[in-house]
Amino acid sequence: MRSQAMDIQQEQFKTNLAERSRQFDLNHSIQVDSHNLREREFTHKQEQAVVENKYRIAATNRIGLLNKEANRLAEEEEDFGPMVTGYEISLQRWDGESNIPPLPAGLPPAQREQALKMRTDAMSAKLSGRMARAQEKYRTKMEDEYFKGFEWANTNAPQLITRDPQTGQFGYDYDQLLKVKGFHAQQQRYRSMMGMTGLTPTSTVTTDKLTGSQTQWKIPDKVKTLRQSVGEKNVSDFMTEDADGNPYFDRNAFDEFLLAIEGRPPSSSNVTSPDQIPDSSGLSAPTSGWRD
């Protein structure tokens, strides 16, 4: 019994010793890992500090450069600002009609940009004023044109005039008026051309699509000359018959013919009387006309 108990105690001792050894090894490993981790963390912190220092150095350098640039701009504003202000005043005094004041020479970029913007704003403002005046002038002109157009339509194309049922005022369509006036002008040109060619209004038909009016054109009748009229006359034109059927010379018809030709009554001494015509009772009408 005693031997068995000792064996158990010895086995238990061995087990405890092994467990303690394992725990020691584990603690040692943990301590080693913790030490290594602390070293790595320290290294990382150092590296991070180095990086942060570099950013701080870069930021410091940037701020230094910006300060230098700001200082340069401030000096330029101090030196050239009065010139820009003077240019602004000259733009305010500009009437918008004459040539716009030129930019001051030798301005640095920042001040030149300011002056250019002032110049653009001034031109825009003056142009707005000029445009307003131009608009008013054009409105007055169109009102006058409208009144003149109303009078023209009342005389030449009353069908264009309409009445507003709401206000009772009479008016017309301005665009339609322009079309009608254009057609009238075209008709006048057409009449002028027809007049040059000898055509008169009656045969060829043209129709106004807007008003429906029609105009006819024809070649004028040929006007006979005095010689042609005289040449077509012969003795038979002045012969007639009395109540008994005897032919005789009609002196009155002959006098009227001479009056139409000469514009004055004929002299009796120059006219042959019927009794001077031999055997007038048997006179027959000649077949040819008179000759000069």
112 falls within a domain? no
Number of domains comprising the chain: 2
Q: Are residues 205 and 144 in the same domain?
A: yes
Length of the chain: 292
Q: How far apart are the C-alpha atoms of 254 and 44, rounded to whole Å?
A: 147
Q: Say if 276 falls within a structural domain.
A: yes
Domain-located, residue 206: yes
Domain boundary among 223, 243, 274: 223
Q: Is the pLDDT of residue 190 over 50?
A: yes
Tell whether 158 and 208 lie within a shared domain: yes
Domain that residue 272 falls in: 226-282
Let me know if residue 5 belongs to a domain.
Answer: no
pLDDT tens digits along 213-265: 666 655 555 555 554 555 455 555 667 777 777 776 677 777 776 666 655 55
| CA torsion angle 209 213 217 223 (round to 10) | -160
Same domain, 129 and 203: yes
Query: pTM score, two decimals?
Result: 0.35
User: Is 31 inside any structural domain?
Assistant: no
For 99-126, the pLDDT digits (tens) are 889 999 999 999 999 999 999 998 888 8
Residues 171 and 189 in one domain: yes
Are 213 and 254 contained in the same domain?
A: no
User: What is the SS3 string spanning the chain?
Assistant: CHHHHHHHHHHHHHHHHHHHHHHHHHHHHHHHHHHHHHHHHHHHHHHHHHHHHHHHHHHHHHHHHHHHHHHHHHHHHHHHHHHHHHHHHHHHHCCCCCCCCCCCCCCCHHHHHHHHHHHHHHHHHHHHHHHHHHHHHHHHHHHHHHHHHHHHHHHHCHHHEEECCCCCCEEECHHHHHHHHHHHHHHHHHHHHHHHHCCEEEEEEEECCCCCCEEEEECCCCCCCHHHHHHCCCHHHHEEECCCCCEEECHHHHHHHHHHHHCCCCCHHHCCCHHHCCCHHHCCCCCCCCCC
Same domain? For 189 and 242 the reply is no
Could you tell me the two tokens for 278?
């031999």
- Residue 99 falls within a domain, yes or no? no
Do 127 and 200 share a domain, yes or no?
yes
34-89: per-residue pLDDT in tens?
989 999 999 999 999 999 999 999 999 999 999 999 999 999 999 999 999 999 99
Domain boundary among 208, 223, 238: 223
Q: Is residue 292 part of a domain?
A: no
Residue at a domain's end among 207, 223, 239: 223
